[in-house]
Structure 1
């Protein structure tokens, strides 16, 4: 059993803390932003939070596989987590999804089932998560296990240990996400924001829908994800190195047109009911996710875990497992 403090309370930080607790370690969390907060620097509340593999490396594919299996299990056994197994329709992507051997109920769509304006498609059982409820679910499990969660602005990584309530921490786990770029003692300039904009709607849809290569600026996708409690979200834009919280009216108008074109059934019960447009910043990183050990003079043993871009929810379990193993390598010494 080791003494560990986690910096960061996004989905990656919370999931990593829970993995460590379940392995028997004494864990606390300190974070600038906590579940329930809405802030442009706090990515997790703005996520679409579906499962859809875009993994390139073998390790990333393994994280996706672990995430898919774990989230399916939570969907079956933890109804209060608001994790939902739902049919996912995907158009204009490769003929079959990555990890085709892993996903359930995979079916290639015949030509007569394609929606107008698309040239290929497939469906399978995917996962979608109501992010606010899920973050609260993780927090509650942690607090029930004795984890103290503290709110604080930590300017330098050397200050993290002072927030540990169980003695002196043996390892600090840095899950600071986008803020790793600004965190003293780390200041990882490879980290950059990937701006995304979504629309929150009251209209109900029965499936996840994603259409790649639609009209609009480069890297602008179109997707609709339902929420278990009703309503859903529509996205989404993908703009690297944009720190602004500005809402794009052009994006809103383009998205309305795409709804009418690709998902007219969403409008069968009435017009599109948008109750909020929001912007979030995904924590991108040149060179990919950073999960590695480092001994920092004046700080001690640190394991970094950040930079997953838009894959935080589906990768969080796999990333947590790798991070926990590195923590335990430090503890064995």
Structure 2
């Protein structure tokens, strides 16, 4: 888990939003994965530095419209994601470009680097893999596995345990989030009529 307030993270967040806003355009191939909504963001602290003013239809909420406990608030347009549908969409795009999926138990990153684009050899197998060309890039997305994967072993990663509830409420169209003392409460409507309610955050909770 990194610093969510770091400028680099904010830049990644905004670039991701721009792409998802494009994908969510009416008539697009991925429109069914997204829902464009109006969203309200509240905080118990005054947020002097924020990136919300880049968002469509941004406005600062006046003090007489703030909810209880909030010292500042913003309203803007954004998108919500139906994650299972979006993952299926990405998988379809991957396959349509000739991508393939290989499942293997990898103990060390060298197993991937040595195999290149070919099949991996079993862990502990001393035989050299048949050369198939070095990969152009290896993207390691193993989550907490980064602590234990040989050749990576990043001991700085830690879990943030969370819990949400999904309800059926297709009439909810407004998103809302409230942050107080590093705790978040949020309402996230999805296009299919489900609404995500959260959340619980247990930092470094194993």
**Is the structural similarity TM-score above 0.5?**
yes
Partner of 1:38: none
How do 1:89-168 residues align onto structure 2 when only pairs under 5 Å count?
89-92=40-43, 94=46, 98-161=50-113, 162=115, 164-165=117-118, 167-168=132-133
Distance 2:84 2:98 in 1: 22
Segments of structure 1 that go 5 or more residues without pairing to the other structure are 1-53, 244-333
Which residue, 174, 187, 198 being the options, matches 1:207? Answer: 174
CA distance in 1, matches of 2:195, 2:54: 26
Structure 2 unaligned blocks of 5 or more: 120-131
Once residues 14 and 155 of structure 2 are traced to their aligned partners in structure 1, the CA distance between those partners, rounded to angstroms, is 30
Match of 2:199 among 228, 236, 242: 236
Q: Is the 8 A contact 1:82 1:134 kept in 2?
A: yes
Question: Deviation of residue 130 (structure 1)?
Answer: 0.9
In 2, Cα distance between equivalents of 1:60 and 1:210: 19
Aligned to 1:172, the other structure's residue is in SS state coil
**CA radius of gyration, larger in:** 2
Question: Within 2, Cα distance between the matches of 1:184 and 1:201?
Answer: 41
Q: CA RMSD in A?
A: 2.3
**Shift of residue 125, structure 1, vs aligned partner:** 0.7
Alignment of 1:78 onto 2:43: no
Higher relative contact order (CA 8 A, sep 6+): 1
Structure 2: distance between partners of 1:200 and 1:159 = 40
Alignment equivalent of 2:159, drawn from 180, 188, 193: 193
Check the 8 A contact 2:116/2:134 in 1, yes or no.
no
Report the Cα distance in structure 2 between the residues aligned to 1:98 and 1:119, rounded to whole angstroms.
Answer: 14
**Aligned residue among 158, 172, 184 for 2:138:** 172
Distance 2:75 2:152 in 1: 42
Q: Aligned pair 1:87/2:87, yes or no?
A: no
Distance 1:101 1:109 in 2: 12
Looking at structure 2, the residues matched to 187 and 83 of structure 1 have their Cα atoms a distance apart, in angstroms, of 36
C-alpha contact (below 8 Å) 1:88/1:208 kept by paired residues: yes
Q: Distance in 1 between matches of 2:32 and 2:118?
A: 28
Residues 89, 122 of structure 1: 8 Å contact kept = yes
| 8 Å CA contact retained: 1:89, 1:124 | yes
Q: 1:96–1:122: 8 Å Cα contact kept in structure 2? A: no
> Given that residues 30 and 86 in structure 2 are in contact (C-alpha distance below 8 angstroms), is that contact kept between their aligned partners in structure 1?
no
Higher helix proportion, which one? Answer: 1
| Number of equivalent positions | 185
Q: 1:173 to 1:95 in 2, by over 3 A?
A: closer
CA shift for structure 1 position 79:
3.5
Which residues in structure 2 correspond to 1:217-236 (within 5 Å)?
219-236=182-199
Residue by residue over 1:168-214, the C-alpha shift from the partner in whole angstroms, topping out at 9 and shown as x without a partner, is 3334222222211111221111111111111111123211110122x
Q: TM-score, normalised by structure 1?
A: 0.51
Alignment correspondent of 1:56: 6
**1:248-298: CA deviations, max 9, x gaps?**
xxxxxxxxxxxxxxxxxxxxxxxxxxxxxxxxxxxxxxxxxxxxxxxxxxx
CA distance in structure 2 between the partners assigned to 1:202 and 1:81 by the alignment: 17
